[in-house]
Structure 1
Amino acid sequence: MDTLPTGKTILLVEDDNDLAALIELHLKILNHHVVRGQSCADATTLAAQHKIDLWVLDRGLPDGDGLSLCQMLRKNDDWTPVLMLTARDSELERVDGLEAGVDDYITKPFSVLEFQARVRNVLRRHQHREGPSNNELNGALETPLQFGALTISPQQHDVAIDRESISLTATEFSLLHFLAQRPGRVYSKTELLEHVWQTPYEGYQHTVCSTINRLRSKLRQRGQNCIQTVWGVGYKFDPLTTRH
Structure 2
Amino acid sequence: MERQADNAVANILLVEDDDDLAELVQIHLKFQGHRVSRATTVAEAKAQYRQQPFDLLVLDRGLPDGDGLDICHALRQQQDWSPVLILTAQDAEMDKVEGLEAGVDDYITKPFSVLEFQARVRNVLRRLKQSTDTTVEKETASATDAMTFGALKILPELHQVSLNNHEITLTATEFTLLQFLASRPGRVYSKDELLDYVWHTHHSGYHHTVCSTINRLRRKLSLSDSQHHFIQTVWGVGYKFQPQQ
TM-score calculated relative to the size of structure 1: 0.87
Which residue of structure 1 lines up, in the alignment, with residue 235 of structure 2? 231
Aligned amino acid, residue 4 of structure 1: D
1:211 deviation in Å? 1.6
**SS of residue matched to 1:106:** strand
1:21 deviation in Å? 0.8
Which residue of structure 1 lines up, in the alignment, with residue 106 of structure 2? 104
1:131 deviation in Å? 4.8
Runs of 5+ consecutive residues of structure 2 not aligned to the other structure: none
**SS of residue matched to 1:159:** strand
* Count of paired positions: 239
In structure 1, C-alpha distance between the alignment counterparts of 2:160 and 2:74, rounded to whole Å: 20
In structure 2, C-alpha distance between the alignment counterparts of 1:166 and 1:235, rounded to whole Å: 21
Of residues 31-40 and 219-228 in structure 1, the stretch that sits farther from structure 2 once superposed is: 219-228
Which residue of structure 2 lines up, in the alignment, with residue 23 of structure 1? 25
Contact 1:228 1:236 in 2 (8 A): yes
1:197 deviation in Å? 0.9
In structure 2, C-alpha distance between the alignment counterparts of 1:240 and 1:131, rounded to whole Å: 28
In structure 2, C-alpha distance between the alignment counterparts of 1:157 and 1:140, rounded to whole Å: 11
Calculate the aligned-residue CA RMSD, in Å: 2.5
In structure 1, C-alpha distance between the alignment counterparts of 2:157 and 2:77, rounded to whole Å: 21
Pick the aligned partner of 2:210 from 208, 211, 215: 208
Aligned amino acid, residue 125 of structure 1: R
Aligned amino acid, residue 33 of structure 1: R
In structure 2, C-alpha distance between the alignment counterparts of 1:7 and 1:176, rounded to whole Å: 27
In structure 2, C-alpha distance between the alignment counterparts of 1:183 and 1:72, rounded to whole Å: 35
Runs of 5+ consecutive residues of structure 1 not aligned to the other structure: none
CA 1:218 to 1:49, structure 2 compared with 1: closer, same or farther past 3 Å?
closer
Of residues 140-149 and 165-174 in structure 1, the stretch that sits farther from structure 2 once superposed is: 140-149
1:71 deviation in Å? 1.8
Contact 1:5 1:124 in 2 (8 A): no
In structure 1, C-alpha distance between the alignment counterparts of 2:28 and 2:83, rounded to whole Å: 18
**SS of residue matched to 1:4:** helix
Aligned amino acid, residue 72 of structure 1: A
In structure 1, C-alpha distance between the alignment counterparts of 2:203 and 2:133, rounded to whole Å: 25
Which residue of structure 1 lines up, in the alignment, with residue 198 of structure 2? 196
1:92 deviation in Å? 2.8
1:44 deviation in Å? 2.0
Give the percent of matched residue pairs that are identical in Structure 1 and Structure 2.
59
1:140 deviation in Å? 6.6
> Once superposed, which parts of structure 1, at least 4 consecutive aligned residues long, lie more than 4 Å away?
139-142
Q: 5 Å matches for 1:21-100?
A: 21-100=23-102
Of residues 196-205 and 123-132 in structure 1, the stretch that sits farther from structure 2 once superposed is: 196-205
